[in-house]
Chains A and B, each alone.
Chain A
Amino acid sequence: MKQLPTLAAVFAYLSLLTVGGGMAAFPELKALSVDVYHWLTFPQLIHFFSIGQLAPGPNMMMVASIGEWVAGPLGALVVVTAFFLPSACLTFAVGRLWDHMAGWGWRDSIQRGLAPVSIGLLLAGAISIARGAISGWLGGLIAATVLTLLLVTRLNPALLILASAVVGLLVYLETG
């Protein structure tokens, strides 16, 4: 119960960092949930992120897992609300003002300038995930294969997640 206000504050803050996509907030999510508050370990965070790739809907619904992990169903509710409400309110407001801002030259500057920064944040998020998720040649090989397949085909990423789970199981049965 004591955790709820902290959870709300942390995820409301993270909400405002998700420029370009949820992954942009990942490095900060890791720093706060693992290093500062010790809610879970880095491998556990990586596991939730990975399982989240199989869930439908917005790709950062894995934050619900963190809420549940830390403080039960109420924690999940608090985290999801805190993570989506601030950016939702901002979008609602800007959506209504957007056309009024058409004559304001800086509107296009903001759009144009934030585009590369948001790509950079997505890339930084991916690098941060890779640091925790890849140890050893098998992981590197799987990541490279998945990346290549996604860039050259139109396969559903969820299928690749399932396939890699099968690979993991086979490796376990072979070596364990």
Chain B
Amino acid sequence: MPDRTKTYDVLVAGGGNAALCAAITARQAGASVLLVESAPRAFRGGNSRHTRNLRAMHDQPNAVLTDAYKEDEYWDDLLRVTGGQTDETLARMTIRASSGLFGWMKDAGVRFQPSLTGTLNLGRTNAFFLGGGKALVNAYYLTAEKLGVEIMYDTEVTDLNMEDGSVRSVDIRYKGFPETVHARCVVASSGGFQANLDWMRQYWGDAVDNFVIRGTPYNKGRVLKSLLDQGVASIGDPTQCHAVALDARAPKFDGGITTRLDSVPYSVVVNKHGDRFYDEGEDVWPKRYAIWGRLIAQQPDQIAYSICDSKAFPLFMPSVFPAYKANTVEELAVKMKLDPAKVRETVKGFNKAVKPGQVFDNLKLDGNATSGLTPEKTNWARAVDKAPFYGYPLRPGITFTYLGVRVNEKAQVIMDNGQTSGNLFASGEIMSGNILGKGYLAGFGMTIGTVFGRIAGQEAARRARN
């Protein structure tokens, strides 16, 4: 058990990828390190345990990635998804640093594998962890333990007590009992607040009761709140979160990757009244899955139903829950507790509006559209007419929140008055809003966490040892 009476060089609040990269780097630089993770050991690792890859720049093919993915293309992708809500200096620095991570990660025990089945579109840009994010987290914890990082599980950081822009002491709750510990420098890597439903309710009202939190239930945002209450500059829209369409039967927390559903582009999607509400075929799914979370959040009771026939069923990855299945659309509607007459009418209207068009091609925008509907379906529109019929209920699934603390390129936290904190650093989701103000790029969260985790660890160790 770590000695809580001593003053550590570096205290890391959090236990996911960014926290571990900071802790390992600080320890490698000679600092004494205490890592404080609020989850029990079995659920350690924050949202990182549900991740699977990291987006990395590279000028030529390497052992893990194909072809090339250069700085400007990476930057363009980021600019596109954020709509400009990013900091070019920090973003480009992160992108450049991402090309040099593999050696360090491999030394820390992380293993890679070729891009997973069904994700071939990511094989060029994203390096996949062998066994996924929990395997990566396991490797980092093993390395951290070997190096002598001291680790407390079941321990929530409740307050960072600041004075003149520096953290003087840290309040924690170890298995529910309050204590105060001391460190020369602190790295805040404790993620967002999406698992704090009361906080979410401030912006979303009672709709949060119908939200699914895809990741860890331990991201309560206590550290984030503590910092923002003490004059740390915030970044990112507090009301915004990354929300995707999920199978509605997902558990409230920690359902991870298996609850996602890729059926929308090949389906007719209706709300609880049996009405369509958005163009299901607007773009390829990787570019649209994130707006569907918001779309469903705006529907009555935050629920929608994806309906397809047996032609479409083999085209997407299975969700973990079995599809509702019936020989007629009406029967399917009854099984999903929808008004069968209304759903039949919607599907009939849709089928009639499908224009006889080009050859169906699920690999590209094929231009098969409807005509005369509101809204239209602009791609992959095919009559839903071949029994059996399949249905999935959908709900908004929250991945992370965008609100965070402002940092500079040394991962130092910036105060409201513009000054940099003397001994407080941040890495990971808690500061990713500096770079990713909106939208998402697959695997970019892990890139930000790794790059800034290492910078924060390095800088905190340097500061503490001087």
A interacts with B: no
